[in-house]
Chains A and B, each alone.
Chain A
């Protein structure tokens, strides 16, 4: 079985494949596409994010150790995941 070794050093196609700055090869800073997409999906999930932040504020004074914001946290991350999942694999090899 022959797996071809593609020469990636001269790739100019595949938009968005690497998150390396195209014009400047000296800076080979690799950005994780998932993190990038999670950041870019934040505006879509503002409502659960605000709910979560409101919860954090609400429980700030609590010392009993029983209060937590897992529900709001899950809602927010579920929203982000739903936004990221369809787009992520297009950015991966």
Chain B
């Protein structure tokens, strides 16, 4: 990788040299037309590099790339000579030179960045997105079913209790029945022993593994994260999780993923430990909705969004109400202030010469 990048660099450098020769009054913009989209990151970095100190550091760093040295020394000498003349146009030129050296040192990073950050996920039009939109509770109910049947074998949701589901996705009786299906360790009893009992509404959702080490051991060293807050714990969480779950594809040409990992373009780095879990008809919905991959993805993300932000509906109502009321209060306050100040603002001052 290293030698192919430095030949690219020298080719690029010669381009820059030509450019600078033809544009004496230079600014960073002529360079941008040369860029492939992949180097946009570098261009923004280029704009950041302006200081003299950075210039020095980068020049020293770049001296180690032998192919670039002769052109660099040309830059250095040009700067030294023309600094003596002291024209500001040359200063811009020198800054551009610094930018180029910055550009070169960051260009090796640019090519790795795409897979590193993962493919940017699109924005889906979630039904609960609007300023006064509530959750689709039928979707939350289906999403919980998907979680329970597909995800709960590896992912915990240890911050959600059965009672949280009451009134959101299930009736109290349904939630009680669901809780009773699990066994919970409780105690100590009067004899000092721990015992197991069927679950109650107040119990948390069951954890698949006793602790993180057990989870890692069972999953090839990777820890399936707790999902209670996952849509808040990831940038653009809702869209990211949906894109991730429905985005398992064949890797691009030239990328091979080792045994035990799977390719997912949305996952930073591209290689994720979790296999594709959502497959058509993996779950049979109670309400008869066809359980396609996209449908299950939407429902499970609705459920996870609710789990991370159960207060969302109340928050939106409260926000709407108080923003409205405070705007009225603002208008009232503005009027009152202007009323009181009108006395001072409408007075006249007469300046008279003292004889």
Identify the A interface with B (CB < 8 A).
1, 3, 5-9, 18, 20, 30-35, 52, 55-56, 59-60, 62, 65-75, 77-78, 81-82, 84-86, 88-89, 91-93
- Cβ contacts A to B, 22 pairs, < 8 Å: A3-B141, A3-B287, A5-B287, A30-B280, A30-B281, A30-B290, A30-B292, A33-B294, A33-B295, A34-B297, A55-B253, A56-B253, A68-B252, A69-B253, A70-B114, A70-B270, A77-B265, A81-B121, A85-B124, A86-B125, A88-B294, A89-B126
Given contacts A30-B280, A93-B289, contact A73 B265 (CB under 8 A): yes
On whether the beta carbons of A89 and B252 are closer than 8 Å, the reply is no
On whether the beta carbons of B124 and A78 are closer than 8 Å, the reply is no
Secondary structure dominating the interface of A = helix
Contact of A68 among B243, B249, B255 (CB under 8 A): B255
The CA of A86 and the CA of B255, in the complex, are separated in Å by 30
Secondary structure dominating the interface of B = loop
On whether the beta carbons of B252 and A34 are closer than 8 Å, the reply is no
On whether the beta carbons of B287 and A89 are closer than 8 Å, the reply is no
- Contact bitstring B287-313, A, C-beta under 8 A = 1, else 0: 111111111011000000000000000
On whether the beta carbons of B298 and A18 are closer than 8 Å, the reply is no
Q: Which of B261-293 contact A (CB under 8 A)?
A: 265, 270, 280-281, 286-293
On whether the beta carbons of B122 and A74 are closer than 8 Å, the reply is no
On whether the beta carbons of A1 and B120 are closer than 8 Å, the reply is no
User: Does B202 sit at the interface, judged by CB under 8 A?
Assistant: no
Given contacts A3-B141, A3-B287, A33-B292, contact A81 B243 (CB under 8 A): yes
The CA of A9 and the CA of B298, in the complex, are separated in Å by 22
Complex interface: chain A residues within 8 A of B234 (CB): none
On whether the beta carbons of A77 and B119 are closer than 8 Å, the reply is yes
User: Does B86 sit at the interface, judged by CB under 8 A?
Assistant: no
Given contacts A34-B246, A78-B119, A85-B123, contact A72 B252 (CB under 8 A): yes
CB distance from B260 to the nearest CB of A (A): 19
On whether the beta carbons of A70 and B255 are closer than 8 Å, the reply is yes
Given contacts A59-B254, A89-B127, contact A74 B114 (CB under 8 A): yes
CB distance from A91 to the nearest CB of B (A): 8
CB distance from A72 to the nearest CB of B (A): 7
Complex interface: chain A residues within 8 A of B38 (CB): 71
Complex interface: chain B residues within 8 A of A3 (CB): 137-138, 141, 287
User: Does B25 sit at the interface, judged by CB under 8 A?
Assistant: no
User: Does B37 sit at the interface, judged by CB under 8 A?
Assistant: yes
CB distance from B299 to the nearest CB of A (A): 9
The CA of A91 and the CA of B246, in the complex, are separated in Å by 15
